[in-house]
Amino acid sequence: MNPHSHRQKANTVNFQLSTYRDFWNPNLRGEQLALDMADLSSLQHLESGPNLRGHGMSTELRQSEREAYWLILEFIEQEHMSTMEKQNFLKAVEILSSAVRAEGNGNMNDYYPKATLAKKIETLILEESTETLDSSVRQQAMLCVVALSQVKPSFYLPEILDLVSASISSMFSLPLIMPSLDRKDNASLYLQTTQALDDMLQALVMDDMDPNMLILENFLEIILPWLTHSNKVHEHTRALVTISRLLRFVCNFSTLLHMEMFSMNGKLMGILGLLCLNSNHEISLGASEALHYLSKILVLQRSVRQKMVAILKNLQKRFRGEWFANMQNVSLFFRKYLTPAERADVIMVTMESLTRRSRDDIYAATKMLDVILKYSIPEIEKVPEIIQYIYFHMSSITEAAAQNTIRKILQLLSQSYTDEVILTLFRIEDQPQKGMCKPWEILASFPKGCEVIMKHLLQRLAPQPAPLDRDPSQRTEISPLIATRAIHELLLEWSQQMEVQTFFSPLFIALLFQTSFLMVEGNAAMIQDRRHITEWVDPVSSTVEALKTLMHRSGYGNFESEIEKVGGWELLVNPERHYDGVALLARSLVTKNCWHNRPIFGLLMKMLQDPSCANHFTALVFLAELLQCPDVAAIVDDFVTHILANWFNCAEPATVKLLLQMTEVFTKHKNLEKRLHILQPHVLNCCYSSDSDIVLETFLVLKHLLEELTWQNSSSFLIQLTFKLEPFFEEESEHLRLLAFQIYSQLLARVKRKVLVFPLRHQILNLIVFLVLHLQDVNFGVTQLCRLTLYNTAVLLRWSKLQEVFTKGDVFTIMGALLQQETNKALWFLKQCVALFKSTQVPIRQAAVWFAGQILQILDLEEMKEVEEAYVALRHMKGDPDPMVSCLATQTIYVLEANEKLLLANMTSCSCRRRSQRGCF
């Protein structure tokens, strides 16, 4: 097919000028027009004529055309004209327009200003009576506009709209004209004038070769008030016929200029759809035809070519169909062919009909909304405008069916566009003048719908930073603060306790986390939300109030009151004691054995699976109390315990301290104690934390664990603990050092001889010198613990001879007795002494050097070869800052060197002799 074939067809469009031919059939080059306009003298005057070039008029015009020109000059300024003069003037304008058009590139302004002619024609139309139709002036004026539209320059849009407005008003205001024998001519004239109006509108809507949809939109804005504001049937019918013929004309073109900017599709479809349900058959039929042509335009412009033919055939079958067929078309095109903004226009137009007094209008609007929103609402724009209309007009809708329809719209919008609906409601409510509608009550009255909204609001409660590259066209998202306010409003209206209870756990946690977030980092969020809400309330108090309302609506009103009595709510909003409030809130649920404890526990653990959980500290504070609930403790398994254990890797000291304290809870329930082994390695690792507070907390927890645990269930852990304690016997902090010895003393008290095997026995012996030398500790508590622990060690190892010595002897006596009884462990003791050379306490270093010297003196040559490191350490002690330690180290080295020479001199002596000498102390 030739791509230009359609344009050629458009260029030869038949405007159906049946009446046009009656007035416009001039042959300006060959015939004289019969102009009943002047007498012979005036004709002679015209023939002799003025200088045409002086008037800017071409000398090539025929005599009849010149006469038309002079006639225009004569009547253009005349205010009062007879009907005959008006007709002659309009004929003259047509003749001149035809002459200018025949020139090819002619311009009407070269002869007479086109704008002035248009204004005069508009005046003539407005001068016609709206009570009767007794002349052809209207008809001729409209056809004259058609003629002028064919010549340059083009009409300006204001000129077009003035002419159209005048013509529409003049025609539509006429009384009803019914065909009859006695008024046959009048009816015929009306039909001719109506045709002339159609011809004028079709000519003016064209922009060169194609219809201009922006011009059509302006035409519709002039015509539609005759449909929406008039209460006369014949005016409705005239408007519908005019719209229908105009749309039918546009259907002839495949190319429509500015179709993408045409914004009347939704409004027009809404109005026509409603009128299809009108009780008057003539109006219903006219609306059906107009809706058919509008649908056809949408198919031609927005449908895929492969499907276009089939869709058009289906439309043709339903042409002038019953209301059901029309509603099917409206529903189809509402979903598939209208843009989101146009769908909103359909809804707005239809809702406006619900507020009218006419029962027919209300019925039509209700039926139409039920059809287009039967299942769900498609993508739509202008949600705030729709919500505002509902808010301010709900109270004026009295019909039950209409109220239900409005409620359904609000419900569907709130489910699909929750953020926009919530923001709009708050903006309206925060205005000084509020409406009478209660939208929150409406939203809460739909159980399923309210659940959908609650789920959406729960998602919004989690604070999420807005992306930097956010597209401005994306939907608005409400902040957690606004979501909290919305939840509070819904809870106040949600009367079904069982329904609220289904949301208690997630809502409780979400609101609690929101409170914590606001207490810690909420300032930025508060400032951000002030942009959306004009009437500001304290967000922290608002969130806590929502939490209280949730408890009250869920049947936990007595809990809420008791928390109030003990000051829990005050603690919750106290920045310094906020987490005490969290713990107290959890404790109240545990004390009352709340049914939701287990679901809350499950939600918290699910959140803590995420290592980046923003509210992990609040969750752990709550869990520390919740684990004390028997029902919760019973469901803890290895997987849950591993989740908690992973949080020991957190870099926040406060979190680690909290986990250490939580570990103590695991000793209070059998099921938890079974899982304690998962946490124990992490607790032991905390002994080496770089944070001294964590280390101290770890030892306090270990001390508590020793009081609660049995050797039978925790032997591995207790043995590991003995190996972890050694470095802390030399801790500078007296408090921490005392704790280390307390723990070791407690541990030994639990050890039975039957479990005293390797490696525990090895470690006890490895710490014996530490105990002995710390009898010199500056902390009296440590010395007491060391003496008691030495006694327990002697009992465990069955050192009966040493028990009394450990109890009553001084440190030097004990060291001598220990070395005399356990001579075969001399090298082992020496190694422990050397380790204590680095002690920060002078008495301990002094005793360590002395004991090392005693040990070294009893070694033989073979054993001396293994103590090179001890010699190096002893020589280093000669430089000790304490003079007594330095002097003792120097003397010990002299004695050892002399002893070594003596041993070398006696190399040939028997081993028994060496052993007898070795036995002397």
Condensed to tens digits (0 to 9), the pLDDT of residues 341-395 reads 999 999 999 999 888 878 888 888 898 888 888 777 889 999 999 998 888 888 7
Q: What is the pLDDT of residue 21?
A: 32
Q: Extract the residue ranges of the chain whose pLDDT is less than 70.
A: 1-61, 179-185, 304-326, 431-437, 447, 463-476, 521-537, 861, 903-921
Q: Which residues pair with 107 in a beta bridge?
A: 152
Instruction: Give helix 400-416 / helix 418-429 axis angle, nearest 10°.
Output: 120
Give the pair of three-digit tokens for residue 591: 């004390």
Q: What is the pLDDT of residue 3?
A: 37
Q: What is the pLDDT of residue 315?
A: 62
CA angle 228, 231, 237 (to 5 degrees): 75
Q: Which residues pair with 437 in a beta bridge?
A: none
Whether pTM exceeds 0.75: no
Cα 881 from chain centre: 68
Q: Phi first, then psi: give them for residue 709, nearest 5 degrees.
A: -85, 155
DSSP for 677-734, please give it. HHHHHHHHHGGG-S-HHHHHHHHHHHHHHHHH--HHHHHHHHHHHHHHHGGGGG-S-H
Secondary element (H or E) of residue 616: helix 616-626
Type of residue found at 43: L
DSSP for 255-276, please give it. --BTGGG---HHHHHHHHHHHH
Give the pair of three-digit tokens for residue 532: 């959306």
Q: Distance (Å, rounded) from C-alpha 266 to C-alpha 169?
A: 25
211 DSSP assignment = E
What digits encode the pLDDT tens for the residues 420-435?
988 888 888 776 655 5
Q: Shortest CA distance to 640 belongs to which of 619, 657, 661, 618?
A: 619
Type of residue found at 598: R
822 DSSP assignment = T
If phi > 0 it is left, if psi is from -120 to 50 it is alpha, else beta; for residue 38 that is: beta
Q: Distance (Å, rounded) from C-alpha 151 to C-alpha 44?
A: 30
Give the pair of three-digit tokens for residue 441: 């009550």
676 close to 670: Cβ distance less than 8 angstroms: no
Q: Long-range contacts of range 488-493, CB-CB < 8 Å, 24 or more positions apart?
A: 488/542, 488/545, 488/546, 488/549, 489/440, 490/440, 490/443, 490/444, 490/450, 490/453, 490/454, 490/457, 491/546, 491/549, 491/550, 491/553, 492/440, 492/549, 493/438, 493/440, 493/441, 493/443, 493/444, 493/445
